[in-house]
Structure 1
Amino acid sequence: MTKMKYIYVTALWLFLCLGSATTQANESSLTLKNQQGELFELNQIIGKKPVYLKFWATWCKPCMEQMPHFQHAYEQYGESVDTIAINIDLNDDPSAVEAVKKRFNLTMPIMTDDTAKVAKHYEFRGTPFHVLLDKTGRVIFQGHDADKALDNTLRLLSHDGVVEKPRLLDKESQKVALTLTIPDKGLKAVLYTATWCDWYLADTRPKMAKNCIAAQEQINALTAQGIDTEARVSQLWTDEAAVAEYVEKFKVLHPLYIDHGNDLFISNEVSQVPTLLLYKDAKVIQRVTDFSSPINMLKQ
């Protein structure tokens, strides 16, 4: 099984199950940013008619494969179901988003989750991710595939605005991230990265992939120098097996944990992997995203 297929299947296992419970959305503080840079409040559309939110990234291969289906779904149900294409704003930029829009002739609203709070609210863990809400504002579908289950739910929503049996993420699979401790005195380095960024981005974003490798090599070097270091990896497409494989591949010398919920990524405004935060006496003294040059914290 290829690595891409492995992480995709893992994501499906984490996300999809049939259940009777529903998630009640509360969108009062959730905002997206449109392509003109204007803020859009989700509560403008939630609870009025069904809503289809699709989370995606320009470097996500399955996302690109699904774009024709997404456009077709919008053309078929756009009058009865409010639809938004939500770019997750991780290692992405407006020009890449615009290129995808032109490539697939996308006509639905395209917005960016620049704070990652919308993704967290809807329990997102990997692209592509589909979320459907009924006309009352209940989340009644979550999934990754552009499949018959998604199409049937869209069809039912377009007719009545409600669905009797929801298809939701398995909440029991969710975990809480370990607390990050920053010492009051002294130096600390925290790397924010992903277990897949060195190989999955190798074809579509080769410079980013090389940067991911260099970042891990540099934090290993900082650890060897006696610096207090650790790494947090994004929860996207990641489980403990992927972490173990990453640790073995790069001979990781420091603690490394999954940021379940991506809370630390959000609170530290990390929208690019890798990102290294350097602390001195509990204050951030440097934010590094380019690892082409060696980092020497001992001179700080």
Structure 2
Amino acid sequence: MKFNYTTLLLLVLCFISSHNVLANEEDLVLKDQQGELFELSKIVGNKPVYLKFWATWCKPCMQQMPHFQHAYEQYGDTIDTIAINIDLNDGPAAVAAVKNRFNLTMPIMTDDTGKVAQHYQFIGTPFHVLLDKTGKVIFQGHEADKALDNTLRLLSHDGVVEKTRLLDEANKQAAIALDIPTQGLKAVLFTATWCDWYLADTRPEMAKNCVAAQQQMNTLAKQGVDSEARISQLWTDQAAVTEYKEKFNVSHPLTIDYGNDLFINNEISKVPTLLVYKDGKIINRITDFTSSVNLQNTP
């Protein structure tokens, strides 16, 4: 696939210095490895905070783990640090394996609702977010580079940094709501443009499942079932959607879920996921596409 990770990364590395994000909402909650809930408000605004969003199947995330552990060892006393698994096509066993592989000692938590990632304008892993001691977000980025290291160093001294480096919010687009009919069937596939090829090496069975899901959606559309797909905004732009549509000969509508609002509202933690609606209500949630999906005889 021509649209690779490097291309996607270049799309999101656009920074500005005039955007402020405050993180003091009470509903920003993570889950630790013991399943206990942790409110970010308990640490935000006390001293600097370093949040790193990652996934076990993300190759650059694994490459950056030694750097992340080193940063925690160097600044853990002055900067609260949390490794946040995004909980997309992941699980506790895989997270524990990464922890053991890299001897990670910082707190590891899961964003099982997706709301924390959404709040910090998460686009794709790896994603670094730094907050100063007042709770102001002063850094967002994907690379474990000199800019990140310099910001960590400055935060460790005074807890504040004058110059911010943030993602450009001007390019953000609003999500389009789903139109679910009050009568009849509708099939909505939640998937990603990259899951068939990016996961081919790290999670081959998941990649095959992504291909099968889209193939079965094509069949449903040909059968006359009202069908559409919502694409995760992670690592995606309209060019990737167009390429995906051509690759799989997709005839039904494909729309990027900007902000991942629909993914969050429908508790989608695995791609692909097919939601089947009847008379405006969800009657089935399908994540395994090894067997054919047949909706023609749905009661």
TM normalised by structure 1 equals 0.97
Residues 176 and 261 in structure 1, CA contact (< 8 A), matched pair in contact too: yes
| Structure 1 unmatched runs, 5+ | none
Q: For this pair of structures, how many residues does the alignment match?
A: 298
- Computed over aligned residues only, the root mean square deviation of the Cα atoms, in angstroms, reads 1.1
Q: How far apart, in 2, do the equivalents of 1:74 and 1:20 lie? A: 28
Shift of 1:12: 3.8
Counterpart in the other structure of 2:227: 229
Residues 3 and 240 in structure 2, CA contact (< 8 A), matched pair in contact too: no
Q: Does 1:217 align with 2:240?
A: no
Q: How far apart, in 1, do the equivalents of 2:286 and 2:207 lie? A: 16
Q: 2:112 aligns with which of 111, 114, 136?
A: 114
Structure 1 runs (4+) deviating above 3 angstroms are 1-4
Change (3 A) 1:151 1:9: farther
Shift of 1:13: 3.0
Residues 182 and 188 in structure 1, CA contact (< 8 A), matched pair in contact too: yes
Change (3 A) 1:15 1:88: same
Counterpart in the other structure of 1:91: 89
Question: Helix, strand or coil for the counterpart of 2:268?
Answer: coil
1:121-153 Cα shifts (integer Å, max 9, x gaps): 000010000000000000000000000000000
| Structure 2 unmatched runs, 5+ | none
1:18-40 Cα shifts (integer Å, max 9, x gaps): 31332122331110000000000
Q: 1:33 aligns with which of 21, 31, 51?
A: 31
Q: Does 1:186 align with 2:184?
A: yes
Residues 278 and 287 in structure 1, CA contact (< 8 A), matched pair in contact too: yes
Q: Does 1:198 align with 2:196?
A: yes
Counterpart in the other structure of 1:22: 20
Aligned AA (1:276)? L
Residues 12 and 144 in structure 1, CA contact (< 8 A), matched pair in contact too: no
Residues 189 and 272 in structure 2, CA contact (< 8 A), matched pair in contact too: yes
Q: How far apart, in 2, do the equivalents of 1:10 and 1:173 lie? A: 15
Q: Percent identity?
A: 71
Shift of 1:2: 5.8
Q: Does 1:55 align with 2:32?
A: no
Q: 2:78 aligns with which of 67, 77, 80?
A: 80
Aligned AA (2:22)? Q
Q: 1:261 aligns with which of 236, 240, 259?
A: 259
Question: Helix, strand or coil for the counterpart of 2:230?
Answer: strand
How does 1:237-276 map onto structure 2 within 5 Å?
237-276=235-274
Q: How far apart, in 2, do the equivalents of 1:121 and 1:280 lie? A: 32
1:99-139 Cα shifts (integer Å, max 9, x gaps): 00000000000000000000000000100000000000000
Residues 8 and 237 in structure 1, CA contact (< 8 A), matched pair in contact too: no
Counterpart in the other structure of 1:172: 170
Aligned AA (2:237)? D
Aligned AA (2:162)? E
Counterpart in the other structure of 2:44: 46
Residues 129 and 144 in structure 1, CA contact (< 8 A), matched pair in contact too: yes
Residues 16 and 142 in structure 1, CA contact (< 8 A), matched pair in contact too: no
Aligned AA (2:166)? L
Question: Helix, strand or coil for the counterpart of 1:221?
Answer: helix
Question: Helix, strand or coil for the counterpart of 1:202?
Answer: helix
Question: Helix, strand or coil for the counterpart of 1:126?
Answer: coil
1:210-231 Cα shifts (integer Å, max 9, x gaps): 0000000001000000000000
Q: How far apart, in 2, do the equivalents of 1:189 and 1:230 lie? A: 7
Change (3 A) 1:70 1:2: farther
Aligned AA (1:229)? S
Q: Does 1:143 align with 2:167?
A: no
